[in-house]
Chain A
Amino acid sequence: MDSSVAAPRAPTPASPPPSKPPKGAVEGSATWALADRIGLAICWALGLLFCAIAVAVVVYLFIQGITYLKPSMLVTPAAGGFSQGESGGFSDALFGTMIVAVMGISVALPAGIAIAVWLVEYGRPAALARITESTIEAIAGIPSIVLALFGTVIFSSTALGFFSRSTEGVVFGRSFFAAGAMLSLVALPLIVASTREGLNSIPRHVREASYAVGKTKAATTRRILLPASRPQVATGAMLGLGRIIGDTAIIVVLLGATQNFAPVEGAGFPLNYLRGAGTTLTNFVYEASPTGNLNQPQKAYAAAFVLLLMVLALNGAVDVVHRRARKVGTWSS
């Protein structure tokens, strides 16, 4: 328990007095009642447990990933085969993840920013604003499997047959378009929330200064407010991207059923792939895990390792954005 007591520090009169005394220097736990000290011990235990779980997940997947991941897996598509050596890699899944991420975010980012701007800067009539807020909150709370089922209804309708494979009037309903559209709904609430946070943190006088020099609201938003809230927008986008990459239910329902690209015949280059079914890393891990249809755990480890690297990279990017934003500083009102 002594570790919570900071080492005594020499007072430095030159520096301004800190607004908050350094942690642990105020009062050690030595004087506390036993129950309080047990509580603090639980805090430490649970904190260390969290760290241990994170380290265990990372170390385990790194060991398994480095053992089983071969560079050739990243460039060979999955193939039929009896042993794990014959059945190829997961390049289609890797590309599928990238396609889905790009499609999802390219819908969710503009829409999310627009909704946040409307909520913060316009927001009239007030009733609609309140309904919109609850809508965004509701979308955040809807299980992605329900979104996926809704997607099957939309994209199996004959009117939207263009977005997927259709044979003799029966629309297949599984395509990158369908998955990307529904995944954008998964990312939308995160982007709206963090963009709103950014816009709300800009003090009123900044807007007034812009209006005072004759700028319209639209120009102010575009030239002043959005650039100023770029860190938050970027954070939201990356959180959304993480959710899109990590989602499995929507992929299984709206894209999966195959471990390879299944381009549609008779369509131009990008469209034939986007209209066809495919797979992503999450779907590949799901199917290759011991409970899935493929049951190739070694490949599942390798794919999960690649997926984890992506998530770690996104996390790192969020950290960098935060740190840079802090260095630049915020508005002083």
Chain B
Amino acid sequence: MKEEYSPEYGPRWSDQRVERMLGALVCTVVGLLLAMIVTVIAKAWPSFSHNGLAWFGAGGNVDDQLNAIFLSGQAGAEYVYTFHAWPLIWSTILITGGAVLIALFSALFVAVFIVEFAPEWMSNVLQPVVRFLASVPSVIYGLIGVVVLVPFIGNHLVTEPQKASVAGVISLTGYSLLAAITVLTVMIAPLMVSIFTDGLRAVKPGWLEGSLALGVNRWRTTWKIAVRTARPAIVAGTVLAVARAIGEAVMLAMISGSVGFAPNPADGAIFIFEPSRPLAPTIVKNIDQLSSPPANATLFAIAAVLLFSAALLSLTGWVARRSMKKYGAA
């Protein structure tokens, strides 16, 4: 390749200039994030200030409240802000928690399998499979959930007496916690697996060999040494997966049932067949109401809660990883 003195890298592209230009771009991105946080909170403020902490509490029917908020913005009358989001928050907690627990368990086993125990051909198959599952758009998972999983649950898993027992309250059609958790698990487990495998591969071989030399078998060596050493990666992967789960809007809007209802585990096993609607899908479902000022504030309040949980989550992950790194983990 011909490489002579190139005037393009003369004073016009001097280091100072390039550094300043790149620095300006970086500052822009940082500023954009700050602007976003400020905007979302400012837009959400009316909803929070009218409700106080009751915003997070239970009381009344959320869907009716959302409707009343929307209509009050159109009539030109006094704005209504009364909103008690507990059913939505509870649904987010149930669906995210369930999916993350199952995904954490299975992703850990699959990652260990890929790194340590799978025969060559198997890990060569599994790695592309994991990457593929992680890259399938959520709307495709949602579609498959709606046309396959939901009818299956509705027709085969939910029994007629169960349907009859809650007939006055909600209808059990298959749009349920179970469907949402299942599909969400399939969505987030591959993310975890890919980060866990990176972490497990980074474990120093000497540590494992030391354990093997002491006569500990490979299975226990992996779990006691490799998995423990890779804890920061496990925390990082879990944080990422929880963030994705909390923010997942479209897939859950399709299969969670879209009813502002809080399934109660005290009702027995039937609660996993009950519909609900987490926070993020609520925004998608009510997006047409942005033009109504009080509804706008309410939706932004939901967004602010999502933003806050995302921030809290990455902070938790950062603290956890920092305290683990002290012990010389990878």
Contacts and interface: CB of A to CB of B under 8 A. Distances in A.
Interface of A: 3-4, 6, 20, 22-24, 26-27, 29, 31-32, 36, 39-40, 42-44, 46-47, 49-51, 53-54, 57-58, 60-61, 111, 114-115, 117-119, 122, 124, 128, 131-132, 134-147, 149-150, 152-153, 185, 188, 215-219, 222-223, 239, 242, 245-249, 252-253, 282, 285-286, 289-291, 297, 300-301, 304, 307-308, 311-312, 314-315, 318-319
Contacts of A185: 32
Interface in B228-269: 239-240, 243, 246-250, 253-255, 258
- Which residue, of A24, A57, A239, A301, has the highest number of chain B Cβ atoms within 10 A? A57
Interface size class of B (residues with CB under 8 A): 35 or more
Contact of B220 (A36, A128, A147, A308): A36
Contacts of A114: 22, 25
B35 to A, nearest CB: 8
A315 B132 contact: yes
Contacts of B186: 53
B181 interface: no
A145 B285 CA distance: 11
A218 B9 contact: yes
Contact of A27 (B129, B218, B311): B218
Given A47-B126, A252-B284, A285-B139, A217 B23 contact: no
17 contacts: A6-B119, A32-B217, A43-B118, A46-B109, A57-B144, A115-B22, A128-B26, A138-B33, A141-B313, A143-B248, A144-B247, A218-B9, A248-B250, A282-B139, A282-B250, A291-B254, A308-B140
Nearest to A149: B303
Interface string B137-154: 111101110111000000
A141 B310 contact: yes
A266 B70 CA distance: 34
Given A39-B219, A50-B133, A242-B135, A145 B306 contact: yes
Nearest to B18: A218
Contact of B23 (A53, A61, A118, A223): A118
Given A132-B30, A291-B146, A141 B139 contact: no
A36 to B, nearest CB: 4
Contact of B138 (A26, A27, A39, A248): A248
A78 B119 CA distance: 49
A185 B136 CA distance: 19
Given A138-B314, A246-B139, A297-B147, A145 B217 contact: no
Contact of A143 (B220, B223, B246): B246
B287 to A, nearest CB: 5
Given A3-B119, A117-B22, A138-B33, A143 B135 contact: no
A257 to B, nearest CB: 8
Contacts of A245: 137
A66 to B, nearest CB: 16
Given A3-B119, A291-B254, A43 B131 contact: no
B13 interface: yes
A256 to B, nearest CB: 9
B160 interface: no
A145 B119 contact: no
A252 B288 CA distance: 10
Contact of A150 (B40, B126, B130): B40
Contacts of B109: 39, 42-43, 46
Given A32-B217, A132-B29, A248-B138, A43 B113 contact: yes
Interface in B1-39: 3, 6, 9, 13-15, 18-19, 22-23, 25-27, 29-30, 32-33, 36, 39
Given A118-B26, A246-B139, 15 more contacts: A43-B109, A47-B126, A54-B129, A114-B22, A132-B30, A138-B33, A139-B33, A141-B240, A141-B310, A145-B249, A149-B299, A150-B39, A188-B29, A222-B9, A252-B287
